[in-house]
């Protein structure tokens, strides 16, 4: 990459929402790193080019490397804050850590295109990795979670998306990359739908139909919004960019929660606030109706990092 030129981010990190998504989790075979580095660069370049080819259906995607696998793949350099998923438990609430080596996140407004690309990715990686988990997400109603509430209302807009999601000049080698956290939540929808609408709204901290946030004094300390809308010592919001979508079938359904951010500390603080709660023990009561099945930590490098690393000797 030319000196002084901003690295190109993987375009799926900050993309706007889509109708469909596919999530692929892989573990690498033993001793394949020398072959895998150029392969990942090829996949990343392929996804980048497909953004133009399928622009009419808003295709986008990115790939990310697991915190526990990073040193095997790129042993000489590591994002400063990359660390394993912060598993946490408090009383009946828990968020487990289930790490994977590689994560591929592709989205599009055409399901057939996504299916085609997922197969292409799988073929490009053949013999180097094992597919461990696959989920397919979808937009539900007007961008709502399966609980019926609008999801991602607090997401940054416009250029603010890049400022929140992408690493800046503080880490020059990893500039335009992003710290990624993924949790697969399974909802307990029968119990949730058994609640009165006002009970649901109190648990979320927002009205259901018209998506109006409660006034501060009306929010319960155990409400979801109260537990995740956090501020730092200077009073600035600890923002993340959520790229979450509902997933599932009649057997199991819920939310693929995906956080992308220039730092992992914002997500870690939110998760701690949800599960362990505040100093008075107020945990997020939404967790009574959904359970995280997985928790994985990744870093999505810039496209230029992946291309450069493909030709470097480690």
**Would you name the residues annotated as active-site residues?**
151
Q: Which of 95, 87, 96, 39 is nearest to 65 (CA)?
A: 39
Measured CA distances, 16 to 83, 233, 270 (Å): 27, 30, 22
Rounded CA-CA distance 90/287 in Å is 11
Rounded CA-CA distance 227/283 in Å is 7
What residues contact 215, with CB distance under 8 A and at least 6 apart? none
Locate all alpha helices (DSSP H) within 93-236, ordered by sequence.
111-124, 160-165, 189-193, 197-204, 224-228
């Amino acid at each position: 990459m030319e000196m002084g030129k901003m690295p190109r981010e993987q375009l799926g990190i900050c993309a706007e929402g889509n109708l469909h998504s596919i999530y692929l989790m892989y573990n690498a075979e033993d001793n394949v790193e020398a072959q895998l580095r150029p392969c990942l660069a090829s996949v990343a370049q392929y996804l980048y080019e497909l953004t133009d080819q399928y622009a009419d259906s808003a295709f986008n995607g990115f790939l990310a490397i697991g915190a526990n696998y990073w040193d095997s793949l790129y042993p000489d350099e590591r994002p400063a804050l990359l660390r394993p998923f912060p598993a946490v438990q408090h009383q009946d609430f828990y968020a487990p850590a289930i790490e994977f080596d590689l994560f591929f996140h592709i989205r599009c407004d055409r399901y057939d295109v996504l299916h085609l690309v997922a197969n292409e990715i799988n073929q490009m990686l053949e013999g180097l990795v094992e597919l461990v988990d696959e989920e397919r997400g979808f937009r539900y109603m007007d961008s709502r979670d399966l609980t019926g509430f609008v999801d991602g209302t607090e997401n940054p807009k416009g250029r603010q998306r890049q400022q929140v999601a992408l690493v800046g000049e503080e880490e020059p080698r990893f500039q335009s990359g992003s710290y990624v956290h993924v949790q697969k939540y399974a909802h307990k929808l029968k119990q949730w739908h058994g609640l009165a609408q006002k009970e649901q709204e109190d648990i979320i901290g927002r009205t259901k139909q018209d998506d109006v946030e409660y006034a501060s004094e009306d929010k319960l300390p155990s409400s979801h919004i109260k537990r995740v809308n956090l501020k730092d010592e200077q009073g600035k919001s600890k923002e993340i960019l959520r790229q979450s979508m509902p997933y599932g079938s009649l057997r199991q359904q819920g939310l693929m929660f995906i956080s992308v951010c220039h730092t992992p500390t914002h997500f870690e603080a939110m998760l701690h606030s949800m599960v362990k709660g505040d100093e008075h023990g107020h945990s997020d009561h939404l967790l009574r109706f959904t359970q995280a099945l997985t928790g994985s930590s990744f870093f999505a490098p810039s496209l230029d990092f992946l291309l450069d690393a493909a030709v470097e000797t480690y």
